[in-house]
Amino acid sequence: MEIQKILVVDDDKPISSYLQRKFAKLGYTVYVAEDGEEAVKQAFSNRPDIILLDVKLPKMNGIEVCKQLKADETTKSIPVLMLSAKAQSFEINEGLEAGADKYLCKPMSFPDILGEIRAYERK
Amino acid sequence: MFKKLYDKYINLGILPKLLIYYLIISVVPLMIVGYIANKNLSETGFQALKRAEEMGKENLKAAEDVGKTSIADSVQALDRKSTEAIELRTVELAIRIADFLYERDKDILILASLEPNPKNYLDIYRASNRDVIATETRASTKRNKEKMTELQPRNPENKEAWRHLPPLDFEKASKPLYREITYIDLQGRERIKIADGKISNNLSDISKRENTYCRAEDYFTPLKNLKKGEIFVSRVVGTHIKGWLHKTPEGIKVKPESAYAGKENPRGSKFEGIIRWGKPVYDGKGEKTGYVTMALDHAHVMEFTDHIVPTEDRFTVLSDGGSGNYAFIWDHEDRCISHARDFFICGFDPRTGKEVPGWVSQETYDEYKKSGLTIEAFMRRLSSFRNFSQKKTSSIEQMKSGEIPLDCRVLDTAPQCQGWHEGTKDGGSGSFLILWSGLWKLTTYATIPYYTGPYGKSQKGFGYVTIGANVDDFHKDANITKAKIEKTIFEEGNEIVSANNKTRKLIGESASRNRRLITIISVIAGLAVIGVSLVISIHLTGPLRRLTEGAAAMSRGDLDQSIDVKSRDEIGQLAASFNEMAKAVSEVDRMKSDFVTIASHELRTPIQAMMLGVSGILEGYSGKVDNEVREDLDLAKEGIERLMRLVANLLDLSRIEAKKIELNVSSVSVTEIIDRAIAEVNDLAQAHLHTIVEYMPADISDIRVDKDRMIQVMINLLSNSIKYSPDGGRILVKAERKGEEIIFTIADNGYGVPAWAKEEIFKKFFQADSIMSQKVGGSGLGLTITKGLVEKHHGYIRCESPVPEGVFPDLPLDGERKGAIFIIHLPASGVSTA
């Protein structure tokens, strides 16, 4: 699977802008959404190849976003990697139950995050 | 002791304390007052009663004394009068018998004066009759008192103490006086014989004893020896008739096969006997031609006494030997010749002509048997009136044989015999009392003043009459009076006693009423005390207890406490304060928990940013990095990681403390847990040159736990061992099953834990540095979280230091290498639910 477009959803500007810059530098097309509603909108409009989704978001949280995307035929095949500061097992379970393909706990190092994305590239 | 009591007291709850106070201030004084009141009342009452009783007793005693004295006097008087009357009756009876016998002397004189021919003799025989009371008819002999008073005097002046007795209505029969009249020639042969009312041809030689009455008479020789003018009179001769006495529940009875015994045995054979008179007969020339004899039917002598009773009845058809009230006759040699019981009359055995020996005591009979003599010889040798005493018992053998005639000379069980014998020696009369068979008996005696022939040899004459009378019977009236007086006194006494009892009862009742009242009041007061205490307990101690319980629950971590107290008093206020406090504490706790959760989350985001930056640079995503920058950034990355772990630990701790941690339980291989934990710390261990030794039995079973959490536990402990051991240490990891537990052991030969800190190290933010000689990094939360997780798995953890011998057999543990060992006990069954 070819990954070219990455949707980064995070309301924390330093994180989202860092990821946007680094992924772009590596040749990816990066879309950034800072709230849940925006994330859903962009997922439909931009059709990213993978979504890096924070859970704690304004307007609509990551769980709800994931559920909506996984419920729709057009977006359901997009891998959703949740990246959240919520690291407790019930929170992880909640994310996986909402349909996330992977649940990553903050903090993650950039190489680790990149490794996770590249793991999907190879599939 | 007071210290002990005080200790007990201060340990008491409020309810028992209140009970004690209330009892002391209410019931105790009540009881004291009650006791005093009751005591005073009873004492006063009983003192009065005691005085009354004493007075009653005195009165009663006086009455009794008067009664007793007067009765005693009257009894004595009556006894004397009765005695005199019976004595007189005895004497008169004896005189009448003597007169009767003297009349027989006249008869023999007449007979001797007549020409001896059958016709003359028959005339005399037929002319000599005398009435006897017919005992066979059993006519009523009782004269009742109504009959006695039937006839009233015409002249009222005769009315005072008028007594009238109708004549005796006993049926009588005329009986010939003589059983036979004989004329005997000088050789002793009978020449004329009148018997059974006719001239008998059955004549025999009476010089021979065997031809005489009962083969027992020896009268020919005495007849021959009579001087002119002398009369021969024989003793009583008759056949002894046997008799048997036997004991029954109703008393001593006469067996029916016995001789006649009046009322006791009216159908028995009567004693039959004779007394023979004899006198020589002279012809006109004064020559002795022969002898005339006449045999008096002894029944006529017995008739004198057989119907006598010394009671108000005076006479009876059938005498009663058992009653003790009867008359009897003894001959000049103290033999019984008339008795209510005919078997007591002395007689002969008509087959042998031998006299039946008298009844003796067992003692004397035994003596006879030992003597080797014949009974007759023994009796002849036996001295008269030897050792007479009621203490002796009668000879059983004689009783069994039925041969029990009374011969006063040898009847050594009856001391009264001696009295009669001695009293009649001078021909006199008298009486004495004797305690016979448990009753006082009056016994009178009177010599029968008949001195003809052989009877004239002593003052005793023919013998003597005796009358026995029960003392109680003849002063019956006195006894009735006595009984009446006693009854009156008894009744009066009873009345006094009953009155006193009534008073006593009243006092007792009053006292008991008071007691009851006091008891009831005390009980009510006691119940009230208990009730009040209970109410207070409900309103005071109940809420207090609930407060205590709530506080205890809070201290255990269960902070949602609310005490339901409705009252607004101090307790209510206290409860309200407590509730507010609990709410506040709970709120603070929740806030703390929330804070930790939020903070940890909020901390992660900036950490993430730092992490991204630092890690990106280090990995060269931001261009080439020179070594100095790399080293500096490594330092920064290490700091970020520690910060990250601290945040994670804080979050764990907060969840453990809030009991919000949830376990994700599954069946996990113990080996996997340990292997993964070791793999996790291996780099660190190698960095410090530690060797990790794993010991695991091959067959160790799986365990149901939260895998990640248990790995976390093992990592925590392993990290601990690595951190707190000098480089080049040995770390032992072991898991084993012991009974119902799986035991994990992590031992090291590191710095160890001082004894005082073995518990402390599990407390949060324990300053590990305080026990360390050098600084070791750590959040101070690892062991606290470990303990919390183990406990969440229903297990427990403990620490021992230094390490027990044998854990590291090949390593010396000394100096700074004391070592520490952490032992985790988990239930082998694991955790059933999350």
ipTM of this complex prediction, to 2 decimal places: 0.79
Can you list the positions of beta strands (E) in B78-163? 129-133
Q: CA nearest A24 in B: which residue?
A: B621
pLDDT reported for residue B445: 95
Fold of B662-827: Heat Shock Protein 90 (3.30.565)
B41 and chain A: CB distance < 8 Å anywhere? Answer: no
Interchain CB distance below 8 Å, B609 and A18: yes
Q: What is the mean pLDDT of each run of 10 residues along chain B (834 residues)?
A: 78 75 75 76 73 73 70 68 88 95 94 91 91 72 52 87 83 92 94 92 92 93 91 95 89 91 91 95 91 95 92 86 89 94 94 93 92 87 87 91 93 92 94 82 93 93 92 66 72 74 76 77 78 74 78 76 74 80 80 76 82 84 82 84 82 77 83 88 88 82 86 89 86 86 88 83 73 61 87 88 75 74 85 56
Q: What pTM was computed for the model?
A: 0.48
Domain ranges of chain B: 1-102+476-549, 114-137+169-474, 570-650, 662-827
Of B611, B619, B664, the CB nearest to A89: B664
Residue A40 domain boundaries: 5-121
Is there a common fold for B114-137+169-474 and B662-827? no
Q: CA nearest A11 in B: which residue?
A: B605
A15 and chain B: CB distance < 8 Å anywhere? Answer: yes
Angle at A121 between CA A117 and CA A123, to 5 degrees: 120
The per-residue b/e assignment along B787-815, b for 16 or more CB within 10 angstroms, e otherwise, is: bbbbebbebebebbbbbeeebbeeeebee
Say how far apart CA B274 and CA B292 lie, in whole Å: 15
Chain Cα centroid distance, residue B499: 33
Say how far apart CA B134 and CA B210 lie, in whole Å: 33
pLDDT reported for residue B402: 93
From chain B, pick out residues whose CB is under 8 angstroms from the CB of A111: 615-616, 619, 621
Interchain CB contacts (distance < 8 Å): A and B: 69
Write the DSSP assignment of B681-741 as a string of letters: HHHHHHHTT-EEEEE--TTPPEEEEEHHHHHHHHHHHHHHHHHTS-SS-EEEEEEEEETTE
Say how far apart CA B334 and CA B447 lie, in whole Å: 11
CB atoms within 10 A of CB B611: 25
From chain B, pick out residues whose CB is under 8 angstroms from the CB of A87: 604, 648, 651
Burial category of B169 from C-beta neighbours within 10 Å (exposed 0-12, middle 13-18, buried 19 and up): exposed
From chain A, pick out residues whose CB is under 8 angstroms from the CB of B664: 89
pLDDT reported for residue B361: 93
B646 and chain A: CB distance < 8 Å anywhere? Answer: no
For chain A, the domain total comes to: 1
Cis check: omega of the bond before A107, within 30 degrees of 0: yes
pLDDT band at A123 (very low <50, low <70, confident <90, very high): low
Chain Cα centroid distance, residue A72: 16
Q: CA nearest A90 in B: which residue?
A: B662
Strand partners, B506: none
A27 and chain B: CB distance < 8 Å anywhere? Answer: no
Q: The domain spanning residue A23 has which CATH number? A: 3.40.50.2300
pLDDT reported for residue B834: 42
Interchain CB distance below 8 Å, A110 and B621: yes
From chain A, pick out residues whose CB is under 8 angstroms from the CB of B619: 109-111
Q: Tell whether domain B570-650 is in CATH 1.10.287.
A: yes
Structural Rg of chain A based on CA atoms: 13
B708 and chain A: CB distance < 8 Å anywhere? Answer: yes
Of B604, B614, B662, the CB nearest to A85: B604
Q: CA nearest A107 in B: which residue?
A: B608
Rounded average pLDDT over A70-98: 87
Interchain CB distance below 8 Å, B708 and A56: no
Q: What residues have CB less than 8 Å from B329, skipping those under 6 apart?
A: B97, B301, B302, B304, B305, B336, B337, B338, B339, B448, B463, B464, B465, B466
The CATH number given to B114-137+169-474 is 3.30.450.20
Interchain CB distance below 8 Å, A87 and B619: no
A5 and chain B: CB distance < 8 Å anywhere? Answer: no
In Å, what is the CA distance from A67 to each residue of A30, A48, A74, B806? 22, 16, 13, 58
Interchain CB distance below 8 Å, B604 and A14: no
Interchain CB distance below 8 Å, A107 and B619: no
